[in-house]
Amino acid sequence: MKILFSGHDFKYETEATVKLFIPSRFTFHYDITDAPGDIVMSRLKTGKKYTYLYAYCRLNGKSCRKACHIPNAGADKNTCEHEICRLIYLCLQQLTGITPPWGLMTGIRPVKKMVSLLESGADKQQAFQILKDKYMVSQSRLELAYMTAENQIPLLKGMDCKTISLYISIPFCPTRCSYCSFISHSMDSARKLIPDYIRYLCREIEILGKIINNLGLKTDTVYFGGGTPTSLEASQLEIIMNKLAECIDISSVREYNVEAGRPDTITMDKLQTIKKSGVTRISVNPQTLNNDVLKIIGRRHTAEDTVKAFYMAREAGFDNINMDLIAGLPGDTYQSFENTLDKVLEMNPESITVHTLTIKRSAKLYDEKVKTSADNPTSKMVGKSIELLPEHGYNPYYLYRQKNTIENLENIGFAKKGKESLYNIFIMDETQTILGAGCAASTKLVTPDGKITRIHNYKFPYEYINRFNELMEKKKQIYEILEK
């Protein structure tokens, strides 16, 4: 598929709009208005009084064109970019017959727009009308965004600007799932790196602890993610958690999370170590309770292992457990996804997160993406979870979208009242500074004026280890930005 531009270079949003309809690789061409084969072309031309915008799409021998004009006084970059994308959207909607549930909204944080409208004084009906008019969002997603915003807003109010959250990255897994695009490494290939990785991670925690103390910051939430943190041995987890408690005051944290994740890594020894360290919330993630699907995606555990791990966590004293599911996995059916939902509800965790399968280029399933999308009634699966979980007391409290997600759907966190994950809300709302430690971790510095600065750690363990001192020089930006 060729994407052509004439008179403008709105590449990012144009590509994001086209991807709502066409899961393909694109080539980009500038200052031309036609080419052989399938194309998406847009043109911007400024006249004496008006700016003229035009889109032309040709797909499988069929074509569609749309045009509009706006007064030059209102033709700023953002307006022109939005209008061109809107014209392309209307053309592709007509040619493909597809109506994306989130309409023209391509960002990963749609709830932020709803929250912003409600906090600015708009009522529900006004907020819906604004988002429907501008982005053509479906009624079902407007309702979902509104319910999520209603649950988020009370938890975001009154946040102290001197609080921060802390993310600790453990980038190892027993095996790599076929759908995974995270920077994670199988234990077989990475085992020899782990002792050095833990040593350098502890050094970074010491450095972040000094920053937190020197700037008079207060740690609000802690999140151990990855990867699968429980890929490490109990003794290794204890070293990291002891270092954290030694260097950073976590006595008043409101939430301490560990992504226990894969059931085949969970043992009573590890659970007791985690519990003793003050962890208040963990995840036990089945993704599916269909054993055939587990084999297809490369998991080495069974549905029965998940059930055992969940009740083992209960026995260890955890009263706040999340379980992740994925809608749209290869080999899954609507009936088996519904069965997974029913079984998870019987286990009665405090929160359930429903992800829509997202396949990026680094995932093994990438080349099968189109077939996967066609074979799975993913939208029906997600719709079932949106219908069923609130009936059982689980309400949506955070939501985000990703590129290359099947049917352009979303990931939704559902929780019982009072069991919402604050860390998940903060990272999506981008209203609290998050300090990241470990490989592939991202530090996100939020200043009172809303400006966000990101500092990314190196992606791979060997790079993190070998370039550690260089990385810590970058972390000096934290002082420069937050001291202001």
| Residues 202-217: tens digit of each pLDDT | 999 999 999 999 999 9
Angle at 81 between CA 75 and CA 84, to 5 degrees: 100
- Sorting pLDDT into bands at 50, 70 and 90, what band is 160? confident
Mean pLDDT of 276-304: 94
Quote the mean pLDDT of the chain. 92
pLDDT at 374 over 50: no
What's the rounded Cα separation, in Å, for the pair 375 and 367?
14
pLDDT at residue 145, as a whole number: 98
- Say whether pLDDT at 318 is over 60: yes
The pLDDT value recorded for residue 456 is 95
pLDDT digits (tens, 9 = 90+) for 434-449: 999 999 999 999 998 8
pLDDT, average across residues 106-133: 96
Residue 361 has pLDDT above 90, yes or no: no
Average pLDDT estimate for 133-152: 97
Q: What is the mean pLDDT of residues 74-78?
A: 96
pTM for the model stands at: 0.92
Task: Assess whether pLDDT exceeds 60 at residue 363.
Answer: no
Average pLDDT over residues 240-254: 97
* Structural domains of the chain in order of their starting residue, each with its CATH number: 2-96 (3.30.160), 110-155 (no CATH), 159-469 (3.80.30.20)
Kindly indicate the confidence band of residue 47, based on its pLDDT and cuts at 50, 70 and 90. Answer: very high
- Is the pLDDT at 368 greater than 60? The verdict is no
Whether the predicted pLDDT of 267 surpasses 90:
yes
Among 119, 124, 122, residue whose Cα is nearest residue 153: 119
**Which structure tokens are listed for 168?**
């600790």
Does the pLDDT value for residue 261 go beyond 90? no
What number is the average pLDDT over the span 218-246?
96
59-63, 79-83, 427-431, range with the lowest pLDDT: 427-431
| Look-up of token digits 């529900």 | 124
Q: How confident is the model at residue 178 (pLDDT cuts 50, 70, 90)?
A: low
pLDDT one-digit tens code per residue, 4-30: 999 999 999 999 999 999 988 899 999
